C-alpha cells in the first residue's frame, strides 16, 4: 500500500513538473466550448469553431499565457550552486571484445557419468527410533 501511494505521488509530481496539468485544463476548456457550440449548431461546425484560435474562451487564453510564461521562465538554481554551465565531453571508449576460450579436448575420465562416482545409498534406510 505504501509503495502504491508513493508511486502515485511521484507520478503526480512528474505530471505537474512537465506541465501536463495545463493540457488537462485545455482539454476541459475544449470540452466546454464544444458542448456549448453543439447546442446551437451541427457537430462538424461546433468542432471546427472549438479549435479555431479566433474564438478562444477564458480557459484557453489562460492556458496559452501560462504555457508562454513557463517556456520563457528559466529553471530555478538551487542555493549554494553556481549558475554557470559545465560542458562535459566524454571520450569514446575503446572497443572491447571478449572471445571464447579455446576448447580443450575431453579426457576419458571426464566422460564418466557423475552417478558412477557416488556410493550407493545405505540399505536398509535408517529408521527413526
What pLDDT digit, counting tens, does each position of 70-118 carry? 776 665 666 666 667 777 788 787 888 888 777 777 776 666 665 566 6
DSSP codes of every residue in 56-115:
--HHHHHHHHHHHHHHHSPPPPPTTS---------PPPPP---PPPPPPPPPTGGGS-HH
pTM: 0.48
The domain locations on the chain are 19-72
On the question of pLDDT at 64 being above 70, the answer is yes
Note the pLDDT of residue 87. Answer: 78
Indicate whether 9 pLDDT > 90. yes
Question: Between residues 115 and 54, which one has the greater pLDDT?
Answer: 54
Burial 87-120 (b: 16+ CB within 10 A, else e): eeeeeeeeeeeeeeeeeeeeeeeeeeeeeeeeee
83: Cα separation from own chain's centroid:
28
Q: Is it the case that residue 10 has pLDDT exceeding 80?
A: yes
- Write out the three cell numbers for 42: 451541427
> Is residue 34 a contact partner of residue 46, using CB atoms and an 8 Å limit?
yes
Amino acid at each position: 500500500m505504501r509503495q502504491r501511494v508513493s508511486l502515485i505521488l511521484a507520478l503526480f509530481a512528474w505530471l505537474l513538473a512537465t506541465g501536463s496539468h495545463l493540457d488537462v485544463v485545455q482539454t476541459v476548456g475544449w470540452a466546454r466550448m464544444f458542448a456549448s457550440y453543439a447546442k446551437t449548431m451541427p457537430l462538424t461546425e461546433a468542432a471546427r469553431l472549438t479549435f479555431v484560435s479566433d474564438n478562444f474562451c477564458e480557459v484557453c487564453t489562460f492556458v496559452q499565457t501560462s504555457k508562454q510564461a513557463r517556456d520563457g521562465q528559466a529553471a530555478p538554481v538551487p542555493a549554494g550552486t553556481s549558475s554557470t554551465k559545465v560542458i562535459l565531453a566524454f571520450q569514446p571508449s575503446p572497443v572491447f571484445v571478449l572471445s571464447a576460450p579455446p576448447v580443450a579436448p575431453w579426457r576419458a575420465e571426464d566422460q564418466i557419468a557423475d552417478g558412477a562416482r557416488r556410493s550407493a545409498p545405505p540399505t536398509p534406510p535408517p529408521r527413526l527410533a
